[in-house]
């Protein structure tokens, strides 16, 4: 378990350039990399923070595709027609399919000590971090605000509608277990039975949104009094003037990774790009633009006050964070997600 910290200052407000969302193949041209991520302002920020500088240094330009999708990677690799050179993906897919659907990365040019222990793998380097953050509507709970994860399960002391997503592998089960009294140091292997038993107690009071976008909308529309939501999404809601407050304490964090699909036409250049994008300066710039936290512990983003309020990173005294165990999830994600889907339908 690691403590996390904040940096203060001005949030960068402009994202340079417009990213062309295209799935065109690069055709093995080392002067063009095809990069897949999650689209929108998030991918625009990556273009500004990572791609523009890499183009200036190497002359390599980018074609951008979205969304980053494991099914698409499987299809390309299985067909022997990989067209993506680098992708932003979750923490566990590259572990789960290292060597099969993802290339091993040459880490000799990357200072792996700058990243959290266990976050760098043979096939991936962490790109950005975020918390699954408990937030509450400060008008609903004006006289008795929640102060810990345990309050998410306490519908007697804190009545109201809860919300989270149907994605269990970004910290939901970990958050529920900590709320139920499990010591963060004892989370893994996850007690899945206990997690579902705890979820049963709030099932009738909770909306499980289809995705992060739908969850963000629920919180923005004030249809949820309390939510477990990705920190960058919470920041966006707060910037729109919705009266939400974060609850820091024992918070679960996870990360996304940069990886190279198996059979990339430009393996060497893609590795150079990942080494460049994950350096402290580039990590800090992306954190500022996207509202995420940097995966590189040496990065020092300049956040404005609101971004700082909804972010946590190394050294922060407000909270103790527990990083999601990507190795455990790479082995168990399919079984647990299937169980959750069945639970929701039951």
Q: How big is the chain, counted in residues?
A: 346
Q: What is the DSSP string of 283-333?
A: HHHHHHHHS-EESSTT------HHHHHT--EEB-SS-EEEE--HHHHHHHH
Mean predicted confidence (pLDDT) in 234-254: 93
3-state helix, strand, coil in the chain (%, to 5): 40, 20, 40
Q: Which fold has domain 130-254+323-345?
A: D-Maltodextrin-Binding Protein; domain 2 (3.40.190)
Span 43-100, pLDDT tens digits? 999 999 999 999 999 999 999 999 999 999 999 999 999 999 999 999 999 999 999 9
Residue 22 pLDDT class (50, 70, 90 cuts): very low
CATH topology of domain 7-129+255-314: D-Maltodextrin-Binding Protein; domain 2 (3.40.190)
Is the Cβ–Cβ distance between 125 and 176 less than 8 Å?
no
CA 144 to chain centre: 30
Average pLDDT of 212-221?
A: 93
Is there a shared CATH topology between the 7-129+255-314 domain and the 130-254+323-345 domain?
A: yes
Show the tokens assigned to 215: 């969850």
pLDDT, residue 158, reads: 98
What would the mean pLDDT of 179-185 be, rounded to a whole number? 96
The DSSP secondary structure of 46-101, one letter per residue, reads: HIIIIIHHHHHHH--EEEEE----HHHHHHHHHHT-----EEEEESSHHHHTBTTT
Ranges 105-114, 132-141, 226-235, 308-317: which has the least confidence: 308-317
Q: Model pTM greater than 0.95?
A: no
Residue 8: the pLDDT is 29
Percent of the chain past pLDDT 90, that is, above it, reads 80
d(CA 5, CA 313): 4
In tens, the pLDDT along 146-165 reads: 999 999 999 999 999 999 99
What's the pLDDT at 315? 54
Supply the pLDDT for residue 41.
85
Cα separation, 262 vs 342, whole angstroms:
32
**Spacing of C-alpha 206 from chain mean position:** 22
Judged by DSSP in three states, 190 sits in coil
Radius of gyration of the chain (CA): 20
Residues with Cβ < 8 Å from 70, sequence gap 6 or more? 89, 93, 101
Locate tokens 């041209």: which residue?
Answer: 29
Domain residues of the chain, as ranges?
A: 7-129+255-314, 130-254+323-345
């Amino acid at each position: 378990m690691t403590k996390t910290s904040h940096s203060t200052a001005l949030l960068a407000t402009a994202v340079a350039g417009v990213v062309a969302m295209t799935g065109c193949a690069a055709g093995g041209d080392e002067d063009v990399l095809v990069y897949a991520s999650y689209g929108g302002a998030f991918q625009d920020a990556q273009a500004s923070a990572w791609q523009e500088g890499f183009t200036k240094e190497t002359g390599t330009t980018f074609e951008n595709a979205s969304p980053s999708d494991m099914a698409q990677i499987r299809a390309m690799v299985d067909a022997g027609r990989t067209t993506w050179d680098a992708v932003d993906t979750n923490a566990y897919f590259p572990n789960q399919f290292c060597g099969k659907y993802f290339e091993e990365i040459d880490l000799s040019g990357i200072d792996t000590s700058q990243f959290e222990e266990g976050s760098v793998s043979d096939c991936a380097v962490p790109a950005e971090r975020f918390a699954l953050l408990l937030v509450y509507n400060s008008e609903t709970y004006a006289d008795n605000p929640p102060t810990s994860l345990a309050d998410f399960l306490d519908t007697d002391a804190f009545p109201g509608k809860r919300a989270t997503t149907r994605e269990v592998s970004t910290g939901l089960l970990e958050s529920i277990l900590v709320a139920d009294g499990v010591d963060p140091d004892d989370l893994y292997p996850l007690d899945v039975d206990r997690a579902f038993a705890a979820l049963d107690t709030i099932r009738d009071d909770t909306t499980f949104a289809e995705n992060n976008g739908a969850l963000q909308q629920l919180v923005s529309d004030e249809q949820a009094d309390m939510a477990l939501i990705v920190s960058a999404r919470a920041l966006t809601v707060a910037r729109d003037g919705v009266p939400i407050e974060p609850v820091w304490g024992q918070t679960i964090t996870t990360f996304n990774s940069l990886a190279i699909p198996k059979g990339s036409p430009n393996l060497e250049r893609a590795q150079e790009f990942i080494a460049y994008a994950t350096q402290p300066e580039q990590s800090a710039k992306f954190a500022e633009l996207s509202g995420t936290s940097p995966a590189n512990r040496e990065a020092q983003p300049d956040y404005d006050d609101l971004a700082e309020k909804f972010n946590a990173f190394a050294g922060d005294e407000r909270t103790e964070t527990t990083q999601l165990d990507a190795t455990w999830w790479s082995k168990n994600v399919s079984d647990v997600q299937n169980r959750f889907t069945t639970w929701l339908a039951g």
